[in-house]
A and B are shown apart, each in its own frame.
Chain A
Amino acid sequence: EAQVTQNPRYLITVTGKKLTVTCSQNMNHEYMSWYRQDPGLGLRQIYYSMNVEVTDKGDVPEGYKVSRKEKRNFPLILESPSPNQTSLYFCASGVDRNNQPQHFGDGTRLSIL
């Protein structure tokens, strides 16, 4: 089954404790991206990757890091999480960034205390 898998689905942690949210896709997609969803703001793109070893900032990259060492994986790293990063996070993948819609993971709800 074609899917985008995020882990964990839920996480409560404390300010400053490094965390990683993993994202893996099994569709051989070249394009992957991370979004955060906050009430009234829709989805805002954090980072995206056009291919292995190619990443670029989205609209809200501050406080986040990503890496794309393999085609299937695109982890999101919060080196020193802060309460304003409490949000619902979605990973997505697509054939490319041009003509095809993205496939979204089930989401990760992060609470930073």
Chain B
Amino acid sequence: ELKVEQNPLFLSMQEGKNYTIYCNYSTTSDRLYWYRQDPGKSLESLFVLLSNGAVKQEGRLMASLDTKARLSTLHITAAVHDLSATYFCAVDDMRFGAGTRLTVKP
């Protein structure tokens, strides 16, 4: 059974700092998705990673995929308050991690 684990589940950071969210999964897959969810809102697609070594960047967020290690990372650079949200990874776009609730404080 495919299992997806995100770490950490809760993350409180200061503005301007860097941090990484990790997404580990248990079986072979080369399709990994990252979504963002604001409180009380729906999910919004951030990144689609479709091959080993794929790296995508949008603003202060960068996502990467290592299919051999079964690991994806979402790196946050110089965090700002607007990045406060819950971030989900999803393997094969159907099995989601539990989410990482990110709070960026001034």
Contacts and interface: CB of A to CB of B under 8 A. Distances in A.
A40 B98 CA distance: 6
Interface residues of A, number: 25
Interface string B73-106: 0000000000000001010111111110000000
B94 A42 contact: no
Contacts of A58: 94
Interface of A: 33, 35, 40-45, 48, 58-59, 90, 92, 94, 97-107
Given A99-B31, A101-B35, 18 more contacts: A33-B94, A35-B96, A40-B9, A41-B98, A42-B96, A42-B99, A43-B43, A43-B96, A45-B94, A45-B95, A58-B94, A90-B43, A92-B43, A97-B92, A97-B94, A98-B31, A99-B48, A101-B45
Contacts of B97: 42
Interface residues of B, number: 23
24 contacts: A33-B94, A40-B9, A40-B98, A42-B4, A42-B96, A42-B98, A43-B43, A43-B88, A43-B90, A45-B94, A48-B94, A58-B94, A59-B95, A90-B42, A92-B43, A97-B92, A97-B94, A101-B48, A101-B93, A102-B45, A103-B45, A104-B42, A106-B41, A106-B42
